[in-house]
């Protein structure tokens, strides 16, 4: 039987495996049946203004909007004329609603503070305490000259202060640009330059899998490449950890200790009334060109989008302890560690370190310790836990869990079933949520009280989301026909543009398929209308749920003195979803050695960050190109994946190139 044939049978069997919403969800969730979902969905599509206007009533507005939606494709403005503040909604409003003493953030550090298995130090920060901390830092930022409309770069470990920093920016109307702590100094320099950011908030370091990540040193290194930055605020994280004596370099006049900056600041800092369309943050993400793009999100629509999806998808109740394991440096951290849960008055758990430190039971120990009830993580983590074995899970009492979520990449049905049975004890519904940095909020997802789930599909669109599968001309595909995933109507949390590059917004998202937002993903819809995401169809690869541009890695490779040309493709990877394969031609006189392979892998890690380290480096005499000189990535992908080339190769300039690559492969 051919692979394709057995794959088709396998997937149709999976589609028959349907899990109805558990009865208690069908009783108590916000949406209680498929019928109710369909009615609400129809209303949200037929009259988005009325639907979202009603939803927005749950937020606090300094001034109500005049118009819910102003849509001049491809430009949307939401809640035009409205004024609000995101930090006010996450803090002051919650205190007004009686949650002042409730835990806003539960934080656990990575190093174990006592006996093995005892966990790290834990901080419980109430909404009132969080507000005080945010106000003091906000006043500190003002003292350093930060104004409404500025960009503040945040490069921090997963400590509660990262959330404080983001909320402090939001409070005074400065846009934050958070850079994931795993990125290198070059990545920091590029992003600081592009965002025109004069100030960086960082820490001396962070703990990760037992090692120290030298964040401040990375920033120092980055600032050798740009003279843009005037001030660095440094949180003492490592230096203040018990038994640690960690030295960092210090530049007088430029570097400021966080604790000194906030020491004498008032805990009162009025929240700046922001226009609904003012930028809340810029977040860089990889695209199909070399340079990451600064995705711009606004205040009103974004907050509403994440607020509503958090409530409906995760079914948050007052006493839930909610844990999204994403790092704050990614969109999932922005939307579903911070803004979504806090704007709903929920307790959000933050963990500083690695899932397998000191061993694979860390997450399960934490769920037991903090009585986590809603848990949201990535398929790649689930696969790693599966491989490690269920004995790490079985040591712990996970009965506090009542709902599980996944995000970031397609989840294979086997991992889905393991998650359901082993982690969820067969009783917790799973929400497989599809969305992107650009979408800001979850767009395709089950609702736990309403949507029957099937392993491997993100199921149905959220309210107001007009998702479809089309071909390149925009024609809608029939059931189970693969095509491109597009969104045909605006949604509140959609990106408003690419920072510093307005033309690219149109070119990148609204040009490939006329008149609609193109996601870059391929997908199909089954006969029930469920969306099955197949993965990216552009030059973006998804490694462990982290998004990387192939051209970004190629640029890093050719920046090495030994490399003449490079072509990078994604390949299937059992654990990471996708791995990185690089085809490299060398400069004249350079020898293709094992040592050079290792050097190039390390080099890419240094240029971008270790998440971008290639899995394979393959030296070749030349790269296959079309007559017009374009590298034929599809062929390389075939070769890296199957070890052979299928399909049409007639436009190849030099057939020998493929033949040689193949010989090497067999050798
Ligand atoms: O390919 C899709 C995949 O992740 C891409 C977006 O990556 P990023 O902007 O980094 O955001 C990740 C977290 C929201 C998408 O284009 N993706 C995300 N969620 C899913 C997914 N693929 C399949 N199923 C999902 N649930």
pLDDT confidence of residue 11: 55
pLDDT confidence of residue 658: 77
Could you tell me the pLDDT band of residue 642, with boundaries at 50, 70 and 90? confident
Ligand 1 within 6 A of 433 CB?
A: yes
pLDDT confidence of residue 6: 46
Identify which of 217, 226, 281 has the alpha carbon closest to the alpha carbon of residue 255: 217
pLDDT confidence of residue 653: 65
Query: How many CB atoms neighbour CB 529 within 10 A?
Result: 11
For 331, list phi and psi in degrees, rounded to 5. -60, -35
Which residue has better confidence, 118 or 384?
384
Cis check: omega of the bond before 549, within 30 degrees of 0: no
H, E, C per residue of 234-279: EECCCCCCCCCCCCCCCCCCCEEEHHHHHHCCCCCCCCCCEECCCE
User: Distance from the CA of 168 to the center of ligand 1, in angstroms?
Assistant: 28
pLDDT confidence of residue 118: 83
Identify which of 527, 526, 583 has the alpha carbon closest to the alpha carbon of residue 557: 583
Q: Where in the chain are the domains? A: 540-666
pLDDT confidence of residue 112: 86
* CB-CB contact of 317 with 400 (8 Å): no
620 Rama class: left (phi>0) / alpha (psi -120 to 50) / beta: beta
Ligand 1 within 6 A of 521 CB?
A: yes
Ligand 1 within 6 A of 177 CB?
A: no
Q: Which of 84-98, 492-506, 620-634 has the lowest mean pLDDT?
A: 620-634
Instruction: List pLDDT tens digits, range 196-235.
Output: 999 999 999 999 999 999 999 999 999 999 999 999 999 9
For 114, list phi and psi in degrees, rounded to 5. -145, -135
SS3 content of the chain, % helix, strand, coil (to 5): 35, 25, 40
Among 535, 542, 611, the mutation site with the greatest number of ligand 1 atoms within 8 A of its Cβ is 542
Choose which CATH entry (3.30.460.10, 3.10.580.10, 3.30.300.30, 3.40.50.620) describes domain 540-666.
Answer: 3.30.300.30
**Residue 647 in this model has a pLDDT that exceeds 80:** no
pLDDT confidence of residue 1: 36
**Residue 652 in this model has a pLDDT that exceeds 90:** no
User: How much is the average pLDDT of 425-444?
Assistant: 98
Residue of minimum CA distance from atom 25 in ligand 1? 434
Q: Please give the number of the atom of ligand 1 that sits closest to the Cα of 406.
A: 26
Which residue has better confidence, 282 or 629?
282
User: Distance from the CA of 417 to the center of ligand 1, in angstroms?
Assistant: 20
Among 330, 405, 547, 611, the mutation site with the greatest number of ligand 1 atoms within 8 A of its Cβ is 547
User: Distance from the CA of 415 to the center of ligand 1, in angstroms?
Assistant: 17
Ligand 1 within 6 A of 432 CB?
A: yes
**Residue 570 in this model has a pLDDT that exceeds 50:** yes
User: How much is the average pLDDT of 339-354?
Assistant: 97
Could you tell me the pLDDT band of residue 643, with boundaries at 50, 70 and 90? confident
**Residue 261 in this model has a pLDDT that exceeds 80:** yes
* CB-CB contact of 287 with 293 (8 Å): yes
Ligand 1 within 6 A of 408 CB?
A: yes
CA distance 179 to 122: 25
User: How much is the average pLDDT of 264-268?
Assistant: 98
**Residue 666 in this model has a pLDDT that exceeds 90:** no
Which residue has better confidence, 644 or 270?
270
* CB-CB contact of 344 with 308 (8 Å): no
Q: What is the pTM of this model?
A: 0.94
Q: Is residue 189 packed enough to be buried (19+ CB in 10 Å), middle (13-18) or exposed (0-12)?
A: buried
Ligand 1 within 6 A of 361 CB?
A: no
Alpha carbon 143 to chain centroid, angstroms: 32
Q: Please give the number of the atom of ligand 1 that sits closest to the Cα of 326.
A: 13
What is the C-alpha end-to-end distance of the chain, expressed in Å?
28
User: Distance from the CA of 547 to the center of ligand 1, in angstroms?
Assistant: 8
pLDDT confidence of residue 243: 72
Residue of minimum CA distance from atom 5 in ligand 1? 436
Instruction: List pLDDT tens digits, range 598-631.
Output: 999 999 999 999 999 999 999 999 998 888 888 8
User: Distance from the CA of 537 to the center of ligand 1, in angstroms?
Assistant: 12
* CB-CB contact of 298 with 496 (8 Å): yes
Alpha carbon 420 to chain centroid, angstroms: 23
Instruction: List pLDDT tens digits, range 147-166.
Output: 999 999 999 999 999 999 99
User: How much is the average pLDDT of 314-319?
Assistant: 97
Which residue has better confidence, 13 or 97?
97
pLDDT confidence of residue 3: 42
Ligand 1 within 6 A of 520 CB?
A: yes
Could you tell me the pLDDT band of residue 5, with boundaries at 50, 70 and 90? very low
User: How much is the average pLDDT of 448-464?
Assistant: 98
User: Distance from the CA of 437 to the center of ligand 1, in angstroms?
Assistant: 8
Instruction: List pLDDT tens digits, range 233-258.
Output: 999 999 877 777 788 999 999 999 99
The overall average pLDDT reported for the chain is 94
């Amino acid at each position: 039987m051919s692979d394709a044939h057995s794959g088709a049978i396998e997937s149709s069997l999976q589609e028959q495996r349907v899990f109805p919403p558990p009865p208690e969800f069908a009783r108590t969730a916000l949406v209680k049946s498929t019928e109710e979902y369909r009615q609400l969905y129809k209303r949200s599509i037929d009259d988005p203004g009325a639907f979202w206007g009603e939803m927005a009533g749950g937020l606090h507005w300094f001034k109500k909007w005049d118009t819910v939606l102003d849509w001049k494709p491809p430009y949307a403005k939401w809640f035009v004329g409205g004024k609000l503040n995101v930090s006010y909604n996450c803090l002051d409003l919650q205190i007004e609603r009686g949650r002042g003493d409730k835990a806003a953030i539960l934080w656990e550090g990575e190093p174990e503070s006592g006996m093995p298995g005892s966990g790290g130090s834990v901080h419980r920060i109430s909404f009132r305490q969080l507000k005080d901390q945010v106000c003091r830092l906000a006043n500190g930022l003002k003292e350093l000259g930060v104004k409404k409309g500025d960009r503040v770069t945040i490069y921090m470990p997963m400590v509660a202060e990262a959330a404080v920093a983001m909320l402090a920016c939001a409070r005074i109307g400065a846009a934050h640009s958070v850079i994931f702590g795993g990125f290198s100094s070059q990545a920091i320099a590029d992003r600081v330059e592009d965002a025109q950011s004069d100030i960086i908030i960082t820490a001396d370091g962070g703990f990760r899998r037992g090692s120290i990540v030298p964040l401040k040193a990375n920033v120092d290194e980055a600032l050798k490449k740009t003279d843009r930055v005037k001030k660095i605020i440094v949180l003492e994280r490592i230096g203040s950890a018990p038994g640690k004596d960690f030295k960092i370099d210090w530049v007088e006049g430029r570097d400021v200790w966080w604790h000194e900056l906030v020491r004498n600041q008032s805990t009162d800092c009025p929240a700046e009334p922001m226009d609904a369309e003012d930028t809340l943050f810029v977040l860089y993400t990889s695209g199909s060109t070399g340079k990451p793009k600064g995705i711009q999100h606004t205040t009103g629509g974004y907050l509403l989008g994440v607020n509503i999806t958090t409530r409906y998808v995760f079914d948050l109740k007052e006493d839930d302890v909610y844990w999204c394991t994403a790092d704050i440096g990614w969109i999932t951290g922005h939307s579903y560690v911070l803004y979504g849960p806090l704007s709903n008055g929920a307790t959000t758990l933050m963990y500083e370190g690695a899932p397998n430190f000191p061993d694979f039971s860390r997450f399960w120990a934490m769920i037991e310790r903090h009585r986590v009830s809603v848990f949201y993580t990535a398929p790649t983590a689930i696969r790693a836990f599966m491989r490690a074995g269920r004995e790490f899970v079985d040591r712990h009492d996970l009965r506090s869990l009542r709902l599980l979520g996944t995000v970031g990449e397609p989840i294979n049905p086997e991992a889905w079933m393991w998650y359901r049975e082993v982690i969820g004890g067969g009783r917790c519904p799973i929400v497989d949520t599809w969305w992107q940095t650009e979408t800001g909020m979850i767009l395709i997802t089950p609702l736990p009280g309403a949507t029957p789930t099937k392993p491997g599909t993100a199921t149905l669109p959220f309210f107001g989301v007009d998702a479809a599968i089309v071909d390149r001309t925009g024609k809608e595909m029939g059931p189970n026909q693969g095509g491109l995933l597009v969104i045909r109507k605006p949604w509140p949390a959609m990106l408003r543009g690419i920072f510093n590059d307005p033309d690219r917004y149109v070119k990148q998202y609204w040009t490939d398929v006329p008149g609609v937002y193109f996601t870059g993903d391929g997908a199909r819809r089954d006969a029930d209308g469920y969306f099955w995401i197949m993965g990216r169809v552009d030059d973006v690869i998804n490694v462990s749920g982290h998004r990387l541009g192939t051209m970004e890695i190629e640029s890093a490779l050719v920046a090495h003195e030994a490399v003449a040309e490079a072509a990078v493709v994604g390949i299937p990877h059992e654990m990471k979803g996708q791995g990185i394969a690089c085809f490299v031609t060398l400069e004249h006189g350079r020898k293709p050695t094992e040592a050079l392979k290792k050097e190039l892998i390390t080099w890419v890690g240094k240029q971008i960050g270790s998440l971008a380290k290639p899995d394979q480096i393959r030296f070749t005499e030349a790269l296959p190109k079309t007559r017009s000189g374009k590298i034929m990535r599809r062929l390389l992908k075939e070769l890296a994946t199957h070890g052979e080339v299928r399909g049409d190769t007639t436009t190849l300039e030099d057939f020998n190139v493929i033949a040689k690559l193949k010989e090497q492969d067999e050798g």
